[in-house]
Structure 1
Amino acid sequence: MTSRNRSARILVTALGGATLLGLTGCGAGVTAAAPTQSADTAVTIENCGRSVVVPEPPSAVVGLHPSQTELLLRLGLADRLVGQAQATVQALPDDVAALAEGIPVLGADTPPNRETLLAAEPDFVYSPTTYEFTAEQGFASLEQLEEAGVAAYVATGGCFDRRMEGTVDDLFVDLENLGAIFDVEQEAAALIEDAEADLAEVDAAVEEVDERLRVAQVYVDGTTLTAIGAGIEYDILRRAGAEAVFTPEDPAFADFFAAEITPEALAAAAPDALVFAATDPAHEAAARAYLTATFPDMPAVQEERLIAISTSDTFPGTLGNISVVHRIAQALYPDAFA
């Protein structure tokens, strides 16, 4: 297995099921195209280069990842959910977990297969990436769902031609679209307002920072190091006020947002802080122990700036995209938030 393929395998597992297929960015930004609505209440959304037509506000909905389930719950749609998937991958936040009780789990740690998903008789499914619609994996494809009369929506940042160029603000496109689809524009607007206020607080805090810290974002799988240098992960660091060590301009990230690196290369970069994604507490502890033991002389280790984040917070179309910006910024510049 080549290092590129090995990196892809790691990131497929840890960062939302993104595949190598079509991950090259088109270089265009994303703006929220206003959903169109006809007199019979049908809504048409442009999503991942296709038109999604929703005849009426959906009443049987499936969230294909906990991040998407959480967003639907926060929009007040608990009574419309007929299924949740990948439910054991990430625990729902305590304040919404009770709302999910009783919602059938269609897939514990993977997306549901086609038969299981269709048996729930959904009229709408919401996914973080297009991976959840990979027919080769046994999942219902977008075409199969369309034939079954099921509207499928992919988080904006999870579209193939957006994965390399995704930004934190992509979430706002999703919230505006979901608000129109479910006729919950006020609820969606309130979430956007709160998120924008959170980002504005970070902007104001880091603006006063005289010296930005050099930050590397990595993923640790045993003793294998993968650097993250593009996509929403890069934008998260940028919004947190970091000077990213790895950037989209680096040749290593020309075609894929992650690249395997050697410990020597990371040591030579000598970052002031390390941000690393973890799937659970055990993974976090193992990654932290590896980084501490391997790089004892690195400024990030000596200054105790090893910042763990949840892999789920980097999934497209999740409120974690916002909260993780605040978390990283506060860890980097605690005095700015005092």
Structure 2
Amino acid sequence: MTARIARFFFTALAFAALTPVAYAGHYPVTVRSCNRNVTFTHAPSRAVSNDVNLTEMMLRLGLRSRMAGYTGIDGWKTAQPSLHDELSGLPELALRYPSLETLVASGADLYVAGWNYGMRVGGPITPTTLARFGIASYELTESCAHVMPRPAASFDDVYNDLRNLGAIFDVDARAHALIAAMQARIDAVSRTLGPQVERTRVFVYDSGEDKPFTAGALAMPSALIRAAGGKNVMDDIAQSWTQVSWESVVARNPQAIVIVDYGAVTADQKIQFLIGNPALANVDAVRSRHFIVVHYDAATPGVRNADAVETIAHGLHLAAFAPRPAAAEQAAQGR
């Protein structure tokens, strides 16, 4: 242990000594995080979340007062203005991925992150390296595909994260209320579309010019598109977010393109790039200018996923959501 790390370690111990144990009657609690069981003897009081989606989970669960800060939002420009307002006064400890020194110096007792959402396989920040300094970690379920075999992404991944965070912090009722609200909205879209909906071929464009960065079967947009009455044209790729070739996009000929909106390049600039790319001139979505913009925090696993389902469903099947004339409405209800 270097002298610098040692100083950070003793700082963390000092924070821990000042923190009272809370909600003792609820603990110990054990949750499954990827391929690990993680046990908590009390509610964390200095949690750090990475990225906008995980940070929003913490805020919606009412856990701001139990956070030491957050990381990885402004560096990627993923936050909407409303979130910046909610985070006012809470420190952003790192613009992108934090260092081990930063997390230890903050006195963090829990890092809420994921693989490629604040941690990298073989990188300096992992559950193992954090545990050496007494920092627990919880991994975003969808991201577990980077470290273990997993099925295609689903809403159950998000519900699992909310339930687990609810258990860790003893806010189960809030977690179940959030899950129920999301399920109700997604179910409403499903009822509107009906079981015989004709699925639209959809390509997800995150970024990239030489090669597009997109969502495979193990990334959340596949579940969003499926719930919205579409089919991700890359859902036969058993990967999460990944690069593909433009030739593969042309061969699959999507009828609509979902633009993930974040970063220095605006959604409109991304659309103009796609329109101006000669290789895509004959792709149905480009010819018809059928683009649907979804913000990053709704496209990644989190509490805004119902927003994304509604946005994509309206973009793919607008007629199904059009208000019906009163006479037709009454006839449909058998009046």
Q: TM-score range by the shorter chain?
A: 0.7 to 0.9
Query: What residue number does 2:168 align with?
Result: 181
CA-CA distance at 1:324 after TM superposition: 1.5
Which whole-Å CA distance do the structure 1 matches of 2:234 and 2:242 have between them?
10
| Rounded Cα–Cα distance in structure 2 between residues aligned with 1:49 and 1:90 | 31
1:151 corresponding residue in structure 2: 136
CA displacement at 1:200 relative to structure 2: 0.6
C-alpha separation in 2, matches of 1:130 and 1:38: 33
After TM superposition, the structure 1 = structure 2 runs for residues 167-206 of structure 1, keeping only pairs within 5 Å, are: 167-206=154-193
Contact 1:205 1:337 in 2 (8 A): yes
Q: 2:88 aligns with which of 98, 101, 123?
A: 101
1:271 counterpart SS class: coil
Identity of matched residues, %: 27
Opposite residue 294 of structure 2, the aligned amino acid is: I
Q: Secondary structure at the match of 1:46?
A: strand
SS at match of 2:44: coil
Question: SS state of the match for residue 108, structure 2?
Answer: coil
Q: Name the counterpart of 1:41.
A: 27
In structure 2, the residue matched to 1:63 is 49
Instruction: Give 1:54 shift.
Output: 0.9
Of structures 1 and 2, the larger Rg is shown by 2
* Alpha carbons 2:197, 2:229 under 8 Å: kept: no
The residue number in structure 1 matching 2:224 is: 236
State the shift of 1:330 in Å: 1.2
How many residues are treated as equivalent by the alignment? 294
Deviations 1:144-198 (CA, angstroms, capped at 9, x unpaired) = 3223222210111111225663212211011111111111111111111110011
Note the C-alpha offset of 1:283: 4.0
In the alignment, which of 240, 243, 246 is matched to residue 262 of structure 1?
Answer: 246
So what's the TM-score if we normalise by structure 2? 0.78
| Alignment partner, residue 304 of structure 2 | 320
Q: Separation in 1 of the partners of 2:290 and 2:116?
A: 34
Between stretches 152-161 and 222-231, larger displacement belongs to 222-231
- The structural deviation recorded for 1:39 is 6.0
Cα distance in structure 2, aligned partners of 1:281 and 1:333: 30
**Per-residue Cα deviation, 1:98-155 (whole angstroms, up to 9, x for no partner):** 33111111101x121011111111111211336634485443x312322322221011
Residue pair 2:216, 2:242 contacting (<8 A) in 1 also: yes
Structure 2 vs 1, CA of residues 104 and 128 (structure 1 numbering), >3 Å: closer, same or farther? Answer: same
Change in Cα spacing, 1:135 to 1:220, as seen in structure 2 (3 Å) is: closer
Contact 2:79 2:297 in 1 (8 A): no
Distance of 2:239 and 2:202 partners within structure 1: 22
Is the contact between residue 77 and residue 264 of structure 2 (CA under 8 Å) also seen in structure 1?
A: no
Quote the Cα distance in structure 1 between the aligned partners of 2:89 and 2:226. Answer: 39
Partner amino acid, structure 2, of 1:315: T
Residues 58 and 184 of structure 1: CA distance in aligned 2, closer, same or farther (over 3 Å) = same
- The 3 A distance-change label for structure 1 pair 133 and 297 is closer
Q: What's the CA shift for 1:79?
A: 1.1
Secondary structure, counterpart of 2:289 in structure 1: coil
- Length-normalised TM-score, structure 1: 0.78
Secondary structure at the residue paired with 1:121? coil
Identify the residue that residue 7 of structure 1 maps to in structure 2. Answer: none
